[in-house]
Amino acid sequence: MAVAGMATNSLETQAVDLLGGLVICFCFSYIFYGITLTQTYICMLSSKDDPMWIRIWVSILCFLETIHTAFSMRLLYYLVVLSFGSLEKLGRIDWSFAACVFTENVIVAMVDIFFIRRLWILSNHSYLLTVGTSILLAGRIGCHTAASGLALSIGVWEDLRASRVSYISVEVANGLAAAVDAIIALSLIYFLHRRRSGQDRTDGIVRWLMGYTINSGAAIMVVSLTIAITYAKVTESLLSIGLVIAISKIYVNSLLGSLNARRLFREINTNPTAPTSKSSHIELSALRNATVQPRPIQIYRDKTQITDAAGSRSLDIHVNTFEDDNDYLSHRKHQLPK
């Protein structure tokens, strides 16, 4: 019984080391999927004036994310339920992993193509920038597709890590992914910076877009580099696989977030007199610090006589003048009946 207990503890320890990080990544992935559904719903409500192809593009991305999430659930079910108590089964690569990677490649390609189109517009149709970025994106998709094909053909995680071709494919794919994301983010920041107009309202929008681009691009780059590092160094865990499953959700939400931000910008453009948060803060601060002065009342005393054509009726109008509020209140006090 002691030997059986030691074997059980060894199995539990290996299962925790192998699946712990992956299960956590899957949980965050499903949270991001819920955010994706919410953002898609908001985007559909606020994009009535957009071209039809944008609405179709977003719908396809949401559909692919749903398929990707279903494949990831199948993978998690295989690792946690079907492989329960068997290290041999845990070491095998299920078909759902290759399906997840293939679906992710399509999602990433669609998101990056959309951002490359923005670069094409902002750069005044720069072939060097957009074509060069597209070539790097194609290389990234090709390497990831080759790695998923090798994983399906090899069939065992340990043998997949030992394969030199698989290792090179994964590392090159993640390096190209980080390079593409860096080029897109830095180029968008550069072109947005050049479009500043000197007006507080417009520059505020540009600064918001630059900040959002930096944050979303940095998040994707960090995850891509983390996948490359964990795949090479963390050999006793499937943490890198969990990160691969989760990264597609980050891509989609970065695109949907930028699309949904246009609703706020449209409201600002349709109501240019609406104060921004910065100007409102300044105005309120000025009001709090200001000293209230008596309001002068400038009314001139005059007498006007209106007579009809027959001269039988006349109307006299008298207007009094007061220098300030105190004079007016004093006058009213004396005029009131006692």
Encode pLDDT of 107-146 as tens digits.
999 999 999 998 898 888 899 999 999 999 999 999 988 9
CB 98 within 8 A of CB 151: yes
Residue 331 confidence (pLDDT): 55
Mean pLDDT in residue range 52-78: 94
- Whether residue 79 has pLDDT greater than 80: yes
**Domains along the sequence of the chain with CATH:** 2-271 (1.20.1070), 302-335 (no CATH)
Higher-pLDDT residue of 10 and 252 is 252
- Whether residue 1 has pLDDT greater than 60: no
Which pLDDT band, with edges at 50, 70 and 90, does 283 fall under? Answer: very low
Higher-pLDDT residue of 260 and 213 is 260
Mean pLDDT in residue range 233-245: 87
Higher-pLDDT residue of 58 and 209 is 58
Express each pLDDT in 7-52 by its tens digit: 445 667 777 788 888 899 999 999 999 999 999 998 888 877 788 9
Residue 320 confidence (pLDDT): 54
Mean pLDDT in residue range 244-249: 90
Q: What is the 3-state secondary structure (H, E, C) of the chain?
A: CHHHHHHHHHHHHHHHHHHHHHHHHHHHHHHHHHHHHHHHHHHHHHCCCCCHHHHHHHHHHHHHHHHHHHHHHHHHHHHHHHCCCCHHHHCECCHHHHHHHHHHHHHHHHHHHHHHHHHHHHCCCCHHHHHHHHHHHHHHHHHHHHHHHHHHHHCEHHHHHHCHHHHHHHHHHHHHHHHHHHHHHHHHHHHHHHCCCCCHHHHHHHHHHHHHHHHHHHHHHHHHHHHHHHHHHCCCCCHHHHHHHHHHHHHHHHHHHHHHHHHHHHHHHHCCCCCCHHHHHHHHHHHHHCCCCCCCCCCCCEEEEEECCCCCCEEEEEECCCCCHHHHHHHHHHHCCC
Average pLDDT, the chain: 77
